[in-house]
């Protein structure tokens, strides 16, 4: 199982930490969020270093579909309702700025970047699409209503925003990393005041950014209640179908589409991690029906952190942890949200005020309907009397027949059949090989 991007030959590797080290800002996590944070901090003249327990970009970044858009599903009507018009405009402005910064970088980094129109469609509810266009109009952004799109689907409607984009994630990732200070195969074992203990030495810091996809420190922030993880599946078809844009269903269980060279990249089959869903079977059935001559050349899966209100958590890790910051909860839009994170956190660490701090604050209200669902799933996982158990917080693991892994429905940790850690927030392998 590998993504269409994985055939790209990585041009960079980095040494491991050897002995103790001191830096102004330590960034834990070598995915795109951590690397972009490092890039902008260094551009601001701030000394910083990234530590990654494996190789950089070996996790979620490698498995993305690499779409960049301000259009994260039907997000704007949701943000307007939850946060009000003033903060919704800030949310929009933050993502517009993110796209602008990407375009500046794309001028310097060759990564197959293409401008594309972005579409969110609905198979069932025309009014949802109309409400999103009304929300965008209220926020001052022009969007179009379409009754048909260039997909083999009969839709009720779609909202189009022009001039968004797509690219090759690993080509971009390698390009942005060249001049950064990065320690690979360096795992943080313990966090103390202004010090991280790793498997290869101690790192002393003034500021810390936790960019580990799902935050790995449970003592502060209540992230195990504020987030859950969603698993989705992707195939790359050798199909001669050009869909002329980037597409996503407004339903989180729907399909997404984009092209890359001669491939049609089809995503879907999603479900909460640790639960069951359509998986690759759903994508294979769709491809067989609509593209019977197409061959599936690649298949892979992605994992996304989902927040209570659809907005990322970017800022101070918790009210009780000054100089410790977090970036997480990208709600399936990792590249756009990672850039927002880098811009916001580099401002905060540089001592600048950011107009976007309040909308993305990790300490904002938790009183959202999703909180009850997350609490129920956590209690269910804790009370289910089966083995093996997740070393993160002790929830029961469920065997995933599709991917041959052991998955946690509480917080999304995943393990191989041999018990090796695949996905955080757990930081440890299972103590022994689990029995099916």
User: Which of the four pLDDT bands, split at 50, 70 and 90, describes residue 61?
Assistant: confident
What value does the mean pLDDT take over residues 168-184? 95
Residue 60: its pLDDT value, please? 85
What value does the mean pLDDT take over residues 163-181? 95
Query: Please, which residues have CB within 8 angstroms of residue 383's CB and are 6 or more apart in sequence?
Result: none
Residue 118: its pLDDT value, please? 98
User: In Å, how far are 21, 177, 341, 342 from 349, measured between CA atoms?
Assistant: 20, 20, 12, 11
What value does the mean pLDDT take over residues 275-292? 94
pLDDT digit string (tens) for 410-426?
Answer: 999 999 999 999 999 99
User: Which of the four pLDDT bands, split at 50, 70 and 90, describes residue 273?
Assistant: very high
> 369-423 belongs to which homologous superfamily?
Rieske [2Fe-2S] iron-sulphur domain (2.102.10.10)
Residue 2: its pLDDT value, please? 87
pLDDT digit string (tens) for 198-246?
Answer: 999 999 999 999 999 999 898 899 999 999 999 999 999 998 899 999 9
Start-to-end C-alpha separation, the chain: 21
User: Is the separation of the CB atoms in 221 and 215 below 8 Å?
Assistant: yes
CA distance 157 to 154: 9
Q: Residue 44 above 80 pLDDT?
A: yes
> 4-64+171-224+310-360 belongs to which homologous superfamily?
FAD/NAD(P)-binding domain (3.50.50.60)
Q: Answer yes or no: same fold for 4-64+171-224+310-360 and 369-423.
A: no
User: Is the separation of the CB atoms in 326 and 307 below 8 Å?
Assistant: no
Q: How many CB atoms lie within 10 A of CB 210?
A: 26
Strands (E) across 293-373 are located at: 295-307, 313-316, 324-328
pTM comes to 0.95
Q: What is the mean pLDDT of the chain?
A: 95
Residue 49: its pLDDT value, please? 98
Judged on CB neighbours under 10 Å (0-12, 13-18, 19+), 8 is: middle
Residue 387: its pLDDT value, please? 84
Residue 59: its pLDDT value, please? 82
Residue 245: its pLDDT value, please? 97
- Domain regions of the chain by residue span: 4-64+171-224+310-360, 369-423
pLDDT digit string (tens) for 371-420?
Answer: 999 999 999 999 998 889 999 999 999 999 989 999 999 999 999 999 99
User: Is the separation of the CB atoms in 203 and 20 below 8 Å?
Assistant: yes
* 320 DSSP 8-state letter: T
User: In Å, how far are 16, 32, 209, 242, 316 from 186, measured between CA atoms?
Assistant: 6, 17, 16, 42, 24
User: Which of the four pLDDT bands, split at 50, 70 and 90, describes residue 194?
Assistant: very high
Q: Residue 341 above 90 pLDDT?
A: yes
What value does the mean pLDDT take over residues 52-77? 93
CA distance 220 to 249: 35
């Amino acid at each position: 199982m590998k993504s269409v991007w994985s055939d790209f030959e990585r041009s960079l590797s980095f040494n491991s930490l050897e002995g103790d080290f001191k830096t102004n800002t330590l960034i834990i996590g070598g995915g795109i969020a951590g690397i972009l944070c490092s890039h902008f901090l260094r551009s601001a003249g701030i000394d910083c270093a990234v530590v990654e327990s494996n190789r950089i970009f070996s996790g979620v970044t490698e498995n993305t579909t690499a779409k960049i858009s301000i259009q994260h599903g039907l997000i704007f009507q949701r943000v307007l309702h939850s946060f009000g018009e003033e903060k919704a405009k800030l949310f929009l402005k933050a993502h517009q700025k993110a796209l602008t910064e990407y375009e500046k970088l794309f001028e310097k980094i060759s990564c197959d970047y293409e401008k594309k129109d972005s579409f969110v469609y609905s198979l069932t509810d025309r009014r949802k699409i109309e409400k999103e266009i009304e929300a965008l109009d209220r926020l001052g952004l022009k969007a179009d209503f379409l009754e048909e799109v260039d997909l083999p689907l009969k839709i009720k409607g779609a909202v189009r925003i022009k001039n968004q984009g797509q690219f090759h994630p690993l080509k971009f990732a390698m390009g942005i990393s060249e001049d950064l200070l990065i320690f690979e195969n360096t795992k943080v074992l313990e966090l103390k005041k202004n010090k991280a203990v790793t498997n290869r030495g101690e790192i002393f810091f003034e500021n810390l950014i936790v960019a580990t996809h799902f935050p790995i420190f449970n003592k502060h922030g209540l992230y195990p209640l504020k987030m859950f993880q969603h698993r989705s599946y992707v195939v790359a078809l050798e199909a001669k179908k050009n869909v002329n844009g980037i597409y996503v269903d407004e339903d989180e269980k729907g399909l997404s589409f984009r092209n890359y060279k001669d491939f049609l990249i089809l995503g879907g089959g999603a479900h909460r991690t640790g639960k069951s869903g359509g998986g690759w079977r759903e994508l294979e059935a769709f491809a067989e029906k609509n593209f019977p001559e197409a061959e599936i050349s690649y298949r892979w899966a992605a994992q996304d952190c989902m927040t209570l209100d659809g907005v990322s958590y970017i800022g101070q890790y918790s009210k009780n942890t000054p100089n410790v910051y977090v970036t997480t909860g990208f709600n399936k839009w990792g590249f756009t949200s990672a850039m927002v994170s880098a811009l916001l956190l580099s401002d905060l660490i540089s001592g600048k005020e950011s107009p976007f701090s309040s909308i993305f604050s990790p300490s904002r209200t938790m009183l959202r309907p999703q909180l009850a669902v997350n609490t129920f799933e956590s209690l269910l996982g804790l009370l289910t009397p089966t083995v093996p158990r997740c070393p993160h917080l002790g929830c029961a693991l469920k065997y995933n027949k599709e991917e041959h892994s052991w998955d946690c429905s509480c917080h999304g940790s995943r393990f191989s059949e041999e018990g090796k850690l695949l996905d955080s927030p757990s930081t440890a392998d299972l103590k022994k090989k689990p029995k099916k």
